[in-house]
Structure 1
Amino acid sequence: MREVCKFITGFNSFRDEYFCRENSPFQKLRKSQTPTTMVIACSDSRTDPSLIMQCEPGEIFVVRNIANIVPPYEPDAGYHGVSAAIEYAVKALKVRNIIVLGHSSCGGIRALMESKSEQEHKHEFVNKWLSALHQVRDKVLAHFTSVTDKSCIACEMAGILHSMENLMTFPWISKQVKAGELDIHGWYFNMESGQLLSYLHQTKTFEPLTSPCAQYEPAPNTVDQA
């Protein structure tokens, strides 16, 4: 109950800051929203996109799920929560950017990588959801041969690329991207170094957008020149 009380106190602070003060942004936001960017992020409690990127209310339209997966375009009778959110963001809100935001130490990816072991049947829904990345996992394991921190990082990054590719299977997304009306970005939040990396198509690698925290920077050269 203490945790819930903390949330109520937090809401009161939010209300005072964003609703009750003069010139509150919600004077406009309560009527409509006009975010320019959609973020597809992991449900991990440590990776809230609004907090990571210090966004104000109304700036980003967010959908979160385990391992920040974008399924392929499947216009059938199933329930497609992620695809519905993408459709609304692109068609109704007319966002100009879609960011697939992955991160290090992803529990979903670790479970995916270990799913051929005793953990295979632990969950009722999670394993089926993660099966969307089986092809990615198999390619990573074919290269690294075993499940390690390094291979999990590779799978986390490869999962981002797979989701970016799946976004392009949506015909109305592909059309806008080719017309220069919509950009797709793949970002990776490294919780070890405190860095944000972005996938570059030119180099086919994830390159830093930010510097690491000071304690993770390489030590200065201390070779004695005397």
Structure 2
Amino acid sequence: MKRLFDGVIKFRSEDYEERKELFEELGTGQKPHTLFIGCSDSRVVPNLVTKTLPGELFVVRNIANFVPPYRATGEYVSTTAAIEYAVNVLNVENIIVCGHSNCGGCAALYAEPETLKDVPRVNRWLDLGRDVMKQVDEISGGDETEREWMVEQMNVTEQMKRLYTYPFVKERHEAGKIAIYGWYYVIPTGEVFNYNFDSGYFELIDSEK
């Protein structure tokens, strides 16, 4: 914990002082331009990857960057509530669903039931990705390396489709008021690929394009 406390002290004396006016402005409210739906994985740091400042991204993170289908319910639905708030209250202009390489959540879809017996709520959450797993199994040919990135990328496109089950997202997207993006982040190379709806492929985000 000492490292974390030291980090707080350093933040206050360096980063905060460097952008003091920004933090003072943010003290009265936020107006993020983008809802970023990413994985809880500690290696995925949205503001670092996008080089954005505090106040620009409204971030939702969960295991395997799932978007539960919209439904009317009295349950506590964290991700659904966050999407609702970002779109209907904060009026974000963009939604990014970002998956990543070596995703433990996607890999857990193939775990033996016995290994998940002590995490029943995680196991239940993984139901949101099992349709993707079945689709990949039909086309991957059984190659584990190929299967890994296919599950991770197809999972992103599936979550983008699920955003359309949210009436307010669908309405705004069709009216041209909100854009939806799918990203795939490769951790060891730092590369980020954006999904091209026309080609059906993830394409490297590159300054040359």
TM-score by length of 1: 0.86
**In structure 1, C-alpha distance between the alignment counterparts of 2:38 and 2:81, rounded to whole Å:** 15
Higher relative contact order (CA 8 A, sep 6+): 2
Larger radius of gyration: 1
Alignment of 1:109-188 (within 5 A): 109-112=106-109, 114-116=110-112, 118-146=114-142, 148-188=144-184
Aligned-pair identity in percent equals: 37
Aligned partner letter, 2:183: W
For structure 1, the residue ranges without an aligned partner over 5 or more in a row are 212-226
1:207 is the counterpart of 2:200: no
SS at match of 1:206: strand
Alignment of 1:5-154 (within 5 A): 5-20=2-17, 23-112=20-109, 114-116=110-112, 118-146=114-142, 148-154=144-150
**In structure 1, C-alpha distance between the alignment counterparts of 2:15 and 2:30, rounded to whole Å:** 15
For 1:29-60, what per-residue CA distance to the aligned partner results, in whole angstroms no more than 9, with x for missing partners? 01101110010000001011112112211110
Q: Is the 8 A contact 2:32 2:58 kept in 1?
A: yes
RMSD of aligned Cα (Å): 1.7
SS at match of 1:119: helix
Could you tell me how far 1:122 is from its partner in structure 2? 4.3
Could you tell me how far 1:106 is from its partner in structure 2? 0.3
**In structure 2, C-alpha distance between the alignment counterparts of 1:68 and 1:55, rounded to whole Å:** 20
SS at match of 2:176: coil
User: Which structure has greater helix proportion?
Assistant: 2
Q: Is the 8 A contact 1:167 1:173 kept in 2?
A: yes
